A and B are shown apart, each in its own frame.
Chain A
Amino acid sequence: MRALGRAGQYVALVAYVVFLGFPLVWLFSTALKTPREMGNLNPSWVPADPTLANFAAAFGEQDLVGSAVRSLVVALATSVITVVISLPAAYAMARHRSALNRAATGWVLVSQVFPFILIIIPLFMVLRALDLVSTLTGLVLVHVTFVLPFALWMLQGYVRAVPRELEEAASVDGAGRLRALASVVAPLLAPGVVATLLFAFISSWNEFLFALVVLKDPDVATLPLTLVKFTGPEGVSRLGPLAAASLLATIPSLVFFAIIQRRLRSGLMAGAVKG
């Protein structure tokens, strides 16, 4: 009976692995297939003649490279601006209890519940009034606004993790408040800042809906928009490069998650207060 239970558990685990894994395997397999094999009416799991030509083809597409560069610019601008404006606020929130703390947390929750359409229509009107529709500046503005609440919440957690005593000790040693911040708090905060930067970068890099509404002009499309438009009437021959480009577009998120996982673990250990 026990052995039967074990076997059942393994069967279930294998079923999960198959369900979760098979689309990924298929994406890889498609990315490695030649256009001729894609035309084959009886597709197989393993590419008969694996090739990296699809990746080269993806890089050769003017649209894709251009939109990847635009995505990069938007994501970099979003992450830097987000961290620069939320760091002081995060510090204030972590070190001083105020009504704003609760308001900020409340807003994070509210913004989850309300349908995006209620925000995006007025936002579109605001951008139109500022003449920022179909500009990267407009999109950065929108992305910063939407990443901000969560970034703020992340950062204030990291600030809280820096013991106040350290700051005070620096003051005892004669350092001014600003110096205490710069030489004691800042280095300890650096990993948290990096994590927040990465989070903002990924959110912006992956974002689709706001880009769809704000960037009306296909000439300024970001990567997700271009990927969606990639499959044209040419049909299956373009699926290989599409799969390759999709894989490349996923790399930043994967790197982020790999880093975050390690940080999560070390963060948990750091949580046990060190003397």
Chain B
Amino acid sequence: MTATDVRPPRAAGPGRRRRPAPAGRREILLLMLPALVPVLVFSVGPLLYGVFLAFTDAEAGFNHETELNGLANFGQLLTDDDFWSSFRIGMIWAVSVTVLQFVASLGLALLLNQNLRFRGLARVLSVVPWAMPPVVIGLMWRLVYHPNAGILNATLQDVGLIGQNIDWLNDFSIALPAIIVVGVWTGMPQTTVVLLAGLQSVPKELHEAAQMDGAGVWRRFWSVTLPQLRPVIVAITSLDFVWNINQFGLVYVLTQGGPGGQTRLPMLFAYEEAFRYGFFGYAAMLGVAFAIVVLAVLGIYLWRQMREAS
């Protein structure tokens, strides 16, 4: 960085090759300023302030004097049954969506990597959910799950699997699995595309060599493909987990957290605490707690993966 601080003399003699003058720090800063200011003012700053709020009793009301209250919010969190139930639901949701998404996408990616007919159709279909607004995805699945006018009940009745219409999104025990299916559907494109790209970069020679040594299809998959794919798998499942635990819009549209809080993911819980009941400080503490949980889970996962890899 030191070299760029010294501006070389501009406009040397005619005909001499001029490189575009290396800009000084001032110029770089000037160019970056318009982008830097909004990010600092409207996201870095608020994030830090949000962490600070977690240790206060901040509320939405205007005439509320905000005071520091240390770890009081955290203590309240630990004894809040609603929080623990939301925490449990969030973990079930994030882990099962991430795992199912990964398994389903790996299967699809393996198929798309084969020379099959109609592969083109499957390829197009596999990215469509990506191109849809989350709100529309939620509404579309509400149409599918609709108790009377939905196609799922009609089809299952025709096949004889169910005797009467099920209210998928309002049934205490079915709502969570039902939204997990939507979560998997929604997140498959990114995962599939990434895994497919990974599969295509596995050297063919490795497979051929394994085949020469007499390894069957499964053996080759376990001993050649998977190990080669490992870094890609670790990266995409980590990202998926983070995205899933922070999911909000999709589930808000599908169930608003109902019935009876059975699908109230942590972020829905935090949203309600903050913007329905006005407990800013408490909701911020929820955010801090979840940031810690996410970082811890990711940390353990990445650490284990790295240890196994070496």
Q: Which A residues are closer than 8 A to B by beta carbons?
A: 5, 9-10, 12-13, 16-17, 19-24, 26-27, 29-30, 38-45, 84-86, 88-89, 91-93, 95-100, 107, 111-126, 141-142, 144-146, 148-149, 152, 164, 167-168, 171-172, 177, 180, 205-206, 208-209, 212-213, 224, 227-228, 231, 236, 239, 242-243, 246-247, 249-250, 253-254, 256-257
A98 touches B1 (CB 8 A): yes
Contacts A24-B140, A121-B283, A250-B131 given: A10-B149 contact, CB under 8 Å?
no
* Interface status of B239 (Cβ within 8 A of chain A): yes
How many Å from the CB of A55 to the closest CB on chain B?
15
* Interface status of B143 (Cβ within 8 A of chain A): yes
CA distance A113 to B299 in the complex (A): 12
Contacts A10-B116, A257-B127 given: A117-B35 contact, CB under 8 Å?
no
* Interface status of B275 (Cβ within 8 A of chain A): yes
In the complex, besides A92-B27, A98-B28, A224-B133, 17 extra interface pairs with C-beta distance below 8 angstroms are: A9-B116, A17-B121, A23-B185, A89-B35, A96-B23, A114-B287, A114-B291, A118-B51, A118-B288, A119-B46, A119-B47, A121-B50, A121-B274, A122-B50, A146-B43, A228-B253, A239-B143
List which B1-58 residues lie within 8 A (CB) of chain A.
1, 4, 17-23, 25, 27-28, 30-36, 38-39, 42-47, 49-51, 53-54, 58
A92 touches B248 (CB 8 A): no
CA distance A182 to B150 in the complex (A): 56
- A38 neighbours in B (Cβ, 8 Å): 149
* Interface status of B188 (Cβ within 8 A of chain A): yes
B122 touches A13 (CB 8 A): yes
* Interface status of B139 (Cβ within 8 A of chain A): yes
- A26 neighbours in B (Cβ, 8 Å): 140, 143-144, 151
Q: Looking at B107, B133, B287, which has the most chain A CB atoms within 10 Å of its CB?
A: B133
B129 touches A126 (CB 8 A): no
CA distance A41 to B34 in the complex (A): 58
* Interface status of B148 (Cβ within 8 A of chain A): yes
B143 in complex: contacting residue of A114, A180, A243, CB < 8 Å: A243
CA distance A22 to B249 in the complex (A): 22
CA distance A258 to B49 in the complex (A): 40
A253 touches B140 (CB 8 A): no
B23 touches A121 (CB 8 A): no
- B53 neighbours in A (Cβ, 8 Å): 121-122
Q: Which B residues are closer than 8 A to A by beta carbons?
A: 1, 4, 17-23, 25, 27-28, 30-36, 38-39, 42-47, 49-51, 53-54, 58, 104, 107-108, 111, 114, 116-119, 121-122, 125-136, 138-144, 146, 148-151, 154, 185, 188, 217, 239, 242-243, 246, 248-249, 252-253, 266-267, 270-271, 274-275, 280, 283-284, 286-288, 290-291, 294-295, 298
B291 touches A41 (CB 8 A): no
Contacts A89-B31, A121-B53 given: A115-B19 contact, CB under 8 Å?
no
- B248 neighbours in A (Cβ, 8 Å): 116, 209
For residue A111, which residue of chain B has the nearest CB? B43
CA distance A257 to B125 in the complex (A): 12
CA distance A79 to B39 in the complex (A): 15
- B4 neighbours in A (Cβ, 8 Å): 96
- A30 neighbours in B (Cβ, 8 Å): 143, 149
B136 touches A250 (CB 8 A): yes
CA distance A9 to B110 in the complex (A): 10
A177 in complex: contacting residue of B20, B127, B291, CB < 8 Å: B20
Contacts A118-B47, A205-B133, A256-B131 given: A213-B118 contact, CB under 8 Å?
no
- A126 neighbours in B (Cβ, 8 Å): 42, 46
